[in-house]
Structure 1
Amino acid sequence: MTLTTLLVYISIAALALTGLTYFVFKKKDSLLLSLLQNFSGALFLFSGYVKAVDPLGTAYKMEQYFAEFESTFADTALSFVAPMFPAMAEFSVAFSVFMIVLEIMLGLALIVGAWPKLTSWLFFGIVAFFTVLTGFTFLTGYVPSGVNFFDFGDWGPYAETNMKVTDCGCFGDFLKLEPRTSFFKDIALLVPGFIFLFASKKMHQLFSKGGRRLAVIGIGVASLLYGMSNYVWDIPGQDFRPFKVGTDVATTKQAEMDAAANVTVLGYSMENKSTGERAELTLQEYLDQYASYPEAEWDIEQLKSAPAIEATKISDFELSDDEGNDPTVDLLASSEYTFLIVAYKLKGEVGNWKAGYLEDWKEDIAPVVQAAQAQGHKVAAMTKYNDPTNIADFKQQVGADYPFWTGDDIMLKTIIRSNPGVVLMKDGKIINKWHHSKLPTFDAIAEKELLAKR
């Protein structure tokens, strides 16, 4: 789905709601204002819902933003602000849930007309906040590597590769938007935001005051419980990410790699290292003039066509064992069932492991994987790079006699929204995956997935 298609659907919903408001509820003060209320409310409801499906995804996106802000402010006169962002990152999940619930509540509040003045200010404030956020991210596309955002004189031509945060996360993983697209979307939303501020007294209001408030509070409680069910007690029921159940990781990765290898060089972008002069040449122009752009004096970058298949995190599915080898080659080719325990971060360190986290491994994970090993099935754990001493001690603490492979933490977060979580693979395909607290017994898994008992 594209943003245009989504906005068409939201517009249709807004027109239907406005028809009900006008003809059924007889609220005829301002047809245009009612339409704006319903459109903005429906957009916020949908945006909040798709993020409530996966609150951890929004939290991870916030962590990316916080990291970018920290590095941006670190080398400036405002360096004292930088330490605030790692501290905020520690509460990214709480921020995520709060923002999602607030967005859903505001969406319904606009549609039913609850607390018009407060709702107008909150709507405007959130849109203004995200306009600044997406605007900053979009503008980093003009900031070359090694240049601080606030060194405006050193900005160069826009390049997507300059941005550290490549999508805004506005619609979670359901719809990826480039920061530039999201920035202009947020600017457009400022229009109804301003209108609501000055016309809050004319906004339509449905039902009684008590009914409106009960509906908004009710949807807030429901969205809070729904969001928590998708990361505290279970993994998301709807998976919009590349590693969803049924995905043929081996085939998809090969197809993405082939597409990346078959792109066409369209031209070259050059920047003079001394003067900052920039030039862009077509492939033929560069072949004719390359002697005028020696690499000792120019930074040269190829301009390539878009790959036939867009790369996903599946392209990054690479790991390293304790000898530095990549076990994913054999894993994706294996015709045997393999139980993978995915933990993007081991919580703690030698002598200071979090007790509750160890219990998750010992009580939820260990009985299942031990039974799987007893039946001759393969078991391995995947985590982000850690000191080998830490990994060895952690394995001893949880009684793990299977290998621990290390890889990119963002890739691991994409695979499953549980730490730890379990993924079952066979023939390079994801057969199933579970939150550690919802992991069935081995016998139940064997019966459902037709695992052979040996």
Structure 2
Amino acid sequence: MKKALLNFSRIFVGVLFIFSGLIKANDPIGFGYKLQEYFEVFHIPFLNEMATGIAIMLCVFEIVLGALLLFGFWRKQVTTGLLLVIIFFTFLTFVSAAFKVVTSCGCFGDAIPLTPWQSFSKDLVLLALIIYLFKNRERIQPITSNSTLQNALFIFVLVLSITFSLLTYSRLPVVDFLPYKVGANLPELMKIPEGAKPDEYSIIYNLKNKETGETKVMNDKDYLKTEIWKDDNWEIVGQPDSKLVKKGYEPKIKDLMISDASGTDYTKELIENPYYNLIIVAYSLHEANEEGISKLNALALNATEQFNIRTVLLTTNSAQEADAFSKRMKLFTEVFYADAVPLKSMVRANPGVLLLKNGVVINKWHYNAVPSFDKLAEQYFTK
């Protein structure tokens, strides 16, 4: 029984750590964005610039620890490392849940979004299993006692996890779990279906009796039901509060609004274009790879001149900054503006490009992996 429990704990924890690390390593930039939220909460924003690098290191650490636990190698060091990691993550998820500072921990990336309390509960289970493994670490048996083979397997897992993380960082996620993935119909994802229930709110009133000074807190239903509003002695103090009672239907894309420099909404026109159009995304022009911008600008010029393909650039920068950048880089594209959250979700690159047609994401590329114009034309425009 003890052996079965030990093996279950070792396999469960090892597999879960590898899975969690791989899911995040699939999108290290997205994990970096999540770390930035924690950095802001703990008032250490100076780490923001290193967020992606820290994200990659954490992903590799998780994968390696999980693999070594399955192999049974260096049991004292591995179980100690696991214990320190899970204590740290349990603390983070508790802070997120208790103080509602980060709405999703990013434990499994965008593949399996968990609420803060779900994340904390998951970490408590892992904490219990890892404590058990730590206490019984001497009973963990390695799959081999050959030190050369142990080192070789360690190096293999380490190199493989680093390579995978750097590949997804310098290209795009192998599996895209975001709403702007290839094949997504953006207009449909922005709609609320007919008959879908909206968010349900309760209005909270703070009441005070003019004669006795007694105070009450009452929701809108009780306020009407008791007909306390008919009693002139009771008055509403301050502004009523709105409290979410039940979450309604939420479209997968709810925050995309594209405008020009004057604020005119161009979302529908650009997203629902029935023809091929290229959307270059550079959420921050200050941080954008300028060589990548030049490459995409040349692509846009050729696409427009030869096939009349409309190309626009989306950014979060101010109109003045975008205009100065456009002149310096001699951009051919039109420039529009959107919030950083949807732009970061569109493509994990700065810059990146999406090929749209009739609202559907036909394909998208990191600036490091953009096909040549001839290949692009042959595959899409000349058919």
Name the TM-score, length of structure 2 as normaliser: 0.90
Q: Distance in 1 between matches of 2:216 and 2:151?
A: 58
**Residue of structure 2 equivalent to 1:360:** 292
When residues 447 and 200 of structure 1 are mapped into structure 2, their CA distance, relative to the original with a 3 A threshold, is same
The Cα shift of 1:401 comes to 2.9
**Residue of structure 2 equivalent to 1:150:** none
**Residue of structure 1 equivalent to 2:373:** 442
Q: Distance in 1 between matches of 2:199 and 2:16?
A: 39
8 Å Cα contact 1:269-1:278 kept in structure 2: no
Is 1:382–2:322 an aligned residue pair? no
**Residue of structure 1 equivalent to 2:258:** 319
Paired residue secondary structure (2:169): coil
Q: Which moved more, 1:185-194 or 1:241-250?
A: 185-194
Note the alpha carbon deviations across 1:8-46, whole angstroms, 9 max, x for none.
xxxxxxxxxxxxxxxxxxxx9823212211110011011
Paired residue secondary structure (1:432): strand
Q: Write out aligned runs for 1:72-83 (5 A).
A: none
8 Å Cα contact 2:207-2:236 kept in structure 1: no
The Cα shift of 1:246 comes to 0.7
Paired residue secondary structure (1:310): coil
**Residue of structure 2 equivalent to 1:341:** 280
Q: Which residue of the other structure, out of 63, 73, 76, is the alignment partner of 2:36?
A: 63
Q: Distance in 2 between matches of 1:295 and 1:373?
A: 62
The Cα shift of 1:271 comes to 5.5
Count, aligned residues: 372
Q: Which residue of the other structure, out of 304, 312, 334, is the alignment partner of 1:373?
A: 304
Note the alpha carbon deviations across 1:407-445, whole angstroms, 9 max, x for none.
111211111011100001111111110111111122322
Q: Write out aligned runs for 1:26-425 (5 A).
A: 30-70=3-43, 85-140=44-99, 163-210=100-147, 211-232=149-170, 234-255=171-192, 262-263=197-198, 265=200, 267-270=202-205, 279=217, 281=219, 284-288=221-225, 289=227, 291=229, 296-307=237-248, 309-312=249-252, 314-347=253-286, 357-362=289-294, 364-374=295-305, 375-384=307-316, 386-425=317-356
The Cα shift of 1:393 comes to 1.4
The Cα shift of 1:382 comes to 0.7
Q: Distance in 1 between matches of 2:228 and 2:168?
A: 55
**Residue of structure 2 equivalent to 1:6:** none
Identity value in percent: 30
8 Å Cα contact 2:353-2:365 kept in structure 1: yes
| Structure 2 letter corresponding to 1:53 | N
Paired residue secondary structure (2:241): strand
Paired residue secondary structure (1:255): coil
8 Å Cα contact 2:30-2:109 kept in structure 1: yes
The Cα shift of 1:218 comes to 1.1
The Cα shift of 1:278 comes to 7.6
8 Å Cα contact 1:358-1:397 kept in structure 2: no
The Cα shift of 1:366 comes to 2.0
The Cα shift of 1:58 comes to 0.6
8 Å Cα contact 1:421-1:434 kept in structure 2: yes
**Residue of structure 2 equivalent to 1:16:** none
Q: Which runs of 5+ in 2 are unaligned?
A: none
When residues 195 and 317 of structure 1 are mapped into structure 2, their CA distance, relative to the original with a 3 A threshold, is same
The Cα shift of 1:216 comes to 2.6
Q: Distance in 2 between matches of 1:400 and 1:297?
A: 52
Q: Which moved more, 1:293-302 or 1:38-47?
A: 293-302
| Structure 1 letter corresponding to 2:371 | P
Paired residue secondary structure (2:135): helix
Aligned residues: CA RMSD: 2.4
Note the alpha carbon deviations across 1:114-153, whole angstroms, 9 max, x for none.
110100110000000001101001011xxxxxxxxxxxxx
When residues 29 and 419 of structure 1 are mapped into structure 2, their CA distance, relative to the original with a 3 A threshold, is same
Q: Distance in 1 between matches of 2:138 and 2:241?
A: 58
Name the TM-score, length of structure 1 as normaliser: 0.76
When residues 196 and 296 of structure 1 are mapped into structure 2, their CA distance, relative to the original with a 3 A threshold, is same
Paired residue secondary structure (2:348): coil
Note the alpha carbon deviations across 1:327-355, whole angstroms, 9 max, x for none.
1121133212110100111126xxxxx8x
The Cα shift of 1:248 comes to 0.6
The Cα shift of 1:302 comes to 4.7
Q: Distance in 2 between matches of 1:192 and 1:270?
A: 46
8 Å Cα contact 2:300-2:332 kept in structure 1: no
The Cα shift of 1:300 comes to 2.2
